[in-house]
Structure 1
Amino acid sequence: MPSLLWFDLSMNNMSGGIPFPYCRLRYLEKLQLSDNNLSGEVPNCWKYSSNLLLLDLSSNKLVGGVPVSLCNLQKLESLHLSHNNLSGREIKYTTRQLLIDALIDLSNNNLSGYIPEELGNLHGLRSLNLSRNYLIGQIPWSIGGMKQLEVLDLSRNNLSGTIPSSLAALNFLNHLNLSYNNLSGRIPTGNQLQTFADPSVYDGNPNLCEPPLIKNCTVNIAKADEEE
């Protein structure tokens, strides 16, 4: 089927690995294999799928890393790999060239390591979900460069450090979840961040302070000085 444009086999009981021919259909624009029992690694053959706009492999039993050949998908708009058993730090290099301008969902996996600074180069991205992984380190300052971002979910990781004030530059942000990490310090203010009045956005970060939380940074600093 060399001229196939849309291939949807989602919500079935398919098992086994992802056959290589699926990612060699040169004219394919949408490939949806979500909600199955597919296992094994995501094949590293996507360099042939130059016209792919949407790739949805979510809710399977896939393992291994995010293949580097995804970098070749220059037209890719939406990447769904959530609810699998993906692991490793491969996310670090696959974001160097991607031009995804719609959605990246890698939530509910076993990804570890740091959030790459290169994510800030995805200036047109509208939704980023990296929740429920094992990511560490700080939230990159570069995320403030994703000017079109509407959804940012980094909840339930092991992120630490302060929340970068660059998030205040995300004027289209309407959903933010940073809960259940190890973030600390003052919650930035200004612009769009002022609209997030629900403290649950920051739940599970006991060392964060200032509104919308009731914890006051100044008081806590004074107490720390007294204890010294």
Structure 2
Amino acid sequence: TIALALEWRNLEVLDLNIIRLRTLKTLNLDFTGIDGSNLLKSVGGLPSLKTLSFKCTSQTVDQVPQGIQAIDFSKNHFEGSIPGEICNLDQLEFLDLSENNLSGSIPSCTNLPRISHVHLYQNQFSGPLTYAFFNSTNLVTLDLRENQLTGTVPNWISSLSKLSVLLLKVSGKLSLDSGEDSSLLSVGRKKLAQQGIFLIEKTLWPVISVEEVIEFTTKKSYYTYKDSILNYMSGVDLSCNRFTGEIPQEFGNMKGLRALNLSHNNLTGAIPSTFSNLEQIESLDLSDNGLSGGIPQQLTELYSLSVFRVAYNNLSGKTPEMKGQFGTFDQTSNEGNPLLCGPPLRNNCMEKSQLASGLDDSSDNQESDGLMDMGAFCICFGLSYTTVVVTIATVLCINPYWRRLWFYFIEMFVSTCYYFVVNSFHKLCPFFYGFGN
């Protein structure tokens, strides 16, 4: 294999037709200042060229050479839509247009039959995915992070039998199809559940030398996977979108899944107990949602789990036992759930139980104190009333002075009431007389 690497060179003009490197297979012109249009016109005369890496330059690309199997045009300042010439590259297996300023919709003509790895992250693509990559049955990696896509996760994803890495982090206003035929669920049922770990087949690698790199977000950090480790990596990153509803139980059927990130969404409901079927899972991030209920105790059976995060939800109850991998997690994995208790949290479930019991007892006592025995009340009232009346009568009979004083006040009260009624009647008579006339 003949390769030419001119990266980090201050080149301005290069005509490869002149030097006629007809057996050249790999060309690396990263970080050069060479004119892209003139370069690619020259590259078009290289019949054996399989790999072209042309990133971190300051020029636009007008033409794409035919027969290329791997293209890396990442980290440029390309604007506009995806060049139509790319749709004619039937031999293309690796495409990296990430970290540009490309916009518009992803064209449906990208249904390239041999494409395996597609990186379009950090652009300005918008609109629905429609039928982009619809027939790309060899697709293994699809990275669409940090765009402005809309609509639902399309159903054609379920037809991608080799799909291993799907990254949709901050992809816009995408939503999950909650129906039984959800495309994402189909990926779980038909692909991961049946085939186990997806092996990224690098039959292309002996021919080309593009390094496949995947950045996966978990626990608020980026983890980079590359080279041979990707042979054992399969993951789904749906974080930082606007997904709502409950987590489908079918996610637990993805037995070959190594990493699942559903953080920073609006998911509700309980954590599926079927997650205990994810025997290969190493990273599970469900943080910053609205999940409720308890953490399934069955998750302690996940012996490969090294990252577990359910922080900032509405979970309640006791945390799983500190055994297996759960014995390695600290309180940051569960923080932000006020009703969750038990290690590694500082909230003691016993204290919470006693406090709740004390509150219940206090409430019961208050309720019992507030209830009155009506029979006892009537007896006490009758006795008290009788005692007062008998006492007054006895005093009036024994003491003549108090008796005369008592009758005097009675007479004054009756007289006052009588004259009040008479005066009021005389004042109202003219009013009624005038009203009648």
TM-score by length of 2: 0.50
| Alpha-carbon distance in structure 1 between the residues aligned to 2:294 and 2:310 | 11
| Alpha-carbon distance in structure 1 between the residues aligned to 2:297 and 2:253 | 18
SS of residue in 1 equivalent to 2:173 = strand
Please tell me whether residue 17 in structure 1 is matched to residue 105 in structure 2: yes
Please tell me whether residue 70 in structure 1 is matched to residue 202 in structure 2: no
Compare relative contact order (CA 8 Å, sep 6+) and give the higher one, 1 or 2: 1
| Alpha-carbon distance in structure 2 between the residues aligned to 1:91 and 1:172 | 29
- What are the superposed Cα offsets for residues 173-220 of structure 1, whole Å, 9 maximum, x if unpaired? 111111110011100012111111x21111110111011111111221
| Alpha-carbon distance in structure 1 between the residues aligned to 2:251 and 2:120 | 26
Which of these residues, 326, 340, 348, is aligned with residue 216 of structure 1? 348
SS of residue in 2 equivalent to 1:71 = helix
SS of residue in 2 equivalent to 1:15 = strand
Amino acid at match of 2:183: T
Distance 1:171 1:91, change over 3 A: farther
- For residue 145 of structure 2, what is the aligned residue in structure 1? 58
Higher helix fraction: Structure 1 or Structure 2? Answer: 2
- For residue 111 of structure 1, what is the aligned residue in structure 2? 243
- Higher-Rg structure is 2
Please tell me whether residue 121 in structure 1 is matched to residue 249 in structure 2: no
Please tell me whether residue 28 in structure 1 is matched to residue 160 in structure 2: no
SS of residue in 2 equivalent to 1:55 = strand
| Alpha-carbon distance in structure 2 between the residues aligned to 1:44 and 1:82 | 20
Task: Give the conservation status (yes or no) of the 8 Å contact 1:151–1:173.
Answer: yes
Amino acid at match of 2:324: N
Shift of 1:86: 3.0
Amino acid at match of 2:313: N
- For residue 141 of structure 1, what is the aligned residue in structure 2? 273
- For residue 195 of structure 1, what is the aligned residue in structure 2? 328
Shift of 1:87: 3.8
SS of residue in 1 equivalent to 2:347 = coil
Task: Give the conservation status (yes or no) of the 8 Å contact 2:268–2:291.
Answer: yes
Task: Give the conservation status (yes or no) of the 8 Å contact 2:106–2:132.
Answer: no
Shift of 1:46: 4.2
Amino acid at match of 2:165: S
Stretches of structure 2 lacking an aligned partner (at least 5 in a row): 1-88, 198-233, 361-437
| Alpha-carbon distance in structure 1 between the residues aligned to 2:178 and 2:112 | 24
| Alpha-carbon distance in structure 2 between the residues aligned to 1:227 and 1:87 | 45
Shift of 1:45: 4.8
| Alpha-carbon distance in structure 2 between the residues aligned to 1:42 and 1:186 | 42
Please tell me whether residue 176 in structure 1 is matched to residue 308 in structure 2: yes
| Alpha-carbon distance in structure 1 between the residues aligned to 2:148 and 2:185 | 26
Amino acid at match of 1:111: F
- What are the superposed Cα offsets for residues 138-195 of structure 1, whole Å, 9 maximum, x if unpaired? 0000011010000111110000000011211111111111111001110001211111
Please tell me whether residue 95 in structure 1 is matched to residue 227 in structure 2: no
Runs of 4+ residues deviating >6 angstroms: none
SS of residue in 1 equivalent to 2:99 = coil
**Sequence identity (%):** 40
SS of residue in 2 equivalent to 1:213 = coil
SS of residue in 2 equivalent to 1:48 = coil
Shift of 1:43: 2.2
Amino acid at match of 1:65: T
- What are the superposed Cα offsets for residues 79-134 of structure 1, whole Å, 9 maximum, x if unpaired? 00111223433166223331244010010100101100001111010000000000
Q: How many residues align?
A: 226
- What are the superposed Cα offsets for residues 66-87 of structure 1, whole Å, 9 maximum, x if unpaired? 1111111110010001112234
Aligned-pair RMSD on alpha carbons? Answer: 1.4
Which of these residues, 274, 285, 290, is aligned with residue 158 of structure 1? 290
Stretches of structure 1 lacking an aligned partner (at least 5 in a row): none
Task: Give the conservation status (yes or no) of the 8 Å contact 2:149–2:174.
Answer: no
- For residue 166 of structure 2, what is the aligned residue in structure 1? 79
TM-score by length of 1: 0.95
| Alpha-carbon distance in structure 2 between the residues aligned to 1:134 and 1:59 | 18
| Alpha-carbon distance in structure 1 between the residues aligned to 2:103 and 2:310 | 35
Task: Give the conservation status (yes or no) of the 8 Å contact 2:309–2:334.
Answer: yes
